[in-house]
Amino acid sequence: MADKNLAVIMYKKGDLRLEEVPVPEPKQGEVQLQMSSVGICGSDVHFWTNGHIGDFVVKAPMILGHEASGVVSKLGPGVTSLKVGDRVAIEPGVPCRICHYCKDGRYNLCPHVVFCATPPVNGNLSRFYTHAADFCFKLPDHVSTEEGAFLEPLSVAVHACNRANIKLGDKVLICGAGPIGLVNLLTAKSRGAAKVIITDIDEKRLEFASKLGADYTFKVTSRDPAVTAQQIEETLGQPADKAIECSGATPSIWTAIYATASGGCVVLVGLGASTIELPILNAALREVDIRGNLRYANCYPTALSMIASGQIDVKPFITHRFSLEQSLEAFETAKRGEGIKIMINCETK
């Protein structure tokens, strides 16, 4: 077995390096994984280019990457659920398992969660990595390791659609046609949404959304959220039952509130400014619930079933592929905003 472990490490803002680190040994309940595919997430790029997301500041060198899959290369003590050679998707956040959120099944809210590539925790964009065995999900033979890595962003959408309670016949507004908006589109349609309208300011992203099955695409041109909401309502033929806001842009959150029917729900998935002004009376007096959203809990099995059953096809999302050695080029490509999902293949050549 190789004794070298090439990893993508951000030292500080703007400083990304490919370096060898020690090969980690699996502890009790963990497996060692030979990494297969790792997708680049907006947060990886944001940490690299800004040095922080909100209060999470990169103060020491940190390995990036959290959308990942790998092959079990060693079992730690006590692991019986997996065997060497199993191909798995890695759920990147391991919670404490004992706090009341964990006990209640809402482990995404665990204050002690250890989440890959969220400082000070290392990610898994490396050749070898160790992880809790029960947060690794065995992939069926016909599901690729790229699809395995894609379970991570797909789980974000499964959770967001759970939060919005998307159901059969719903008319759904999705704001933002980036990767997260697009997986929400597929997931909402899978849950039986009758019509999904997706917005963006970028024509190319909307074309992609159309090909993925959006019923309507809407290019936002007006600066006035009330005008945009009115146009969305005219296109849908009625206000949206639910809205999933994936852009984080303030005017888009206003639009989501205005375009949602009384009694409906707006789920905030996109991140933007930490404090903003919102038409809160409009929402309150129409009983439009504004719901928060953090990552996911218990969503990997659903995401895997969606892909394994053929219910959704996420392969078109993967627009760029790089080797681990080409990671710096991959991150530059992501920074330029090119493509939809950039995948890094961590296997040795």
- The residues that touch Zn ion, with contacts defined as CB under 5 A, are 41, 43
Helices (H), 81-144: 100-103
Strand-pairing partners, residue 62, are 10
Q: How far is the CB of 66 from Zn ion (least distance, A)?
A: 6
Of residues 61 through 100, those in contact with ligand 572 by CB under 6 A are 66
| 295 interacts with ligand 572 by CB under 6 A | yes
Q: How far is the CB of 39 from ligand 572 (least distance, A)?
A: 9
| 271 interacts with ligand 572 by CB under 6 A | yes
Task: Give CA separation, 231 vs 137, 173, 199, 202, 234, in Å.
Answer: 43, 12, 11, 17, 5
Task: Tell me the residue number closest to ligand 572, measured at CB.
Answer: 43
Query: What CA–CA distance (Å, rounded) separates 51 from 43?
Result: 10
Closest-CA residue to 9 (of 93, 92, 114, 117): 117
Token pair belonging to 107 = 């482990």
Q: Which stretch, 36-44, 256-264, 281-289, 327-335, contacts ligand 572 (CB under 6 A)?
A: 36-44
| 133 interacts with ligand 572 by CB under 6 A | no
| 53 interacts with ligand 572 by CB under 6 A | yes
Taking CB within 5 to 8 Å according to partner kind, which of ligand 572, Zn ion, none is near residue 124?
A: none
Q: How far is the CB of 293 from ligand 572 (least distance, A)?
A: 9
What's phi and psi for 102, nearest 5 deg? Answer: -60, -45
Place of tokens 């070298």: 4
Q: Which stretch, 20-28, 53-61, 188-196, 243-251, contacts ligand 572 (CB under 6 A)?
A: 53-61
Q: How far is the CB of 72 from Zn ion (least distance, A)?
A: 23
What track of x and - describes contact with ligand 572 for positions 109 through 128 (by CB under 6 A)?
---------x----------
Give CA angle at 151 (148, 155), nearest 5°.
Answer: 165
Closest-CA residue to 66 (of 162, 152, 156): 152
Interacting residue ranges for ligand 572, rule: CB under 6 A:
41-43, 53-54, 56, 66, 118, 152, 156, 271, 294-295
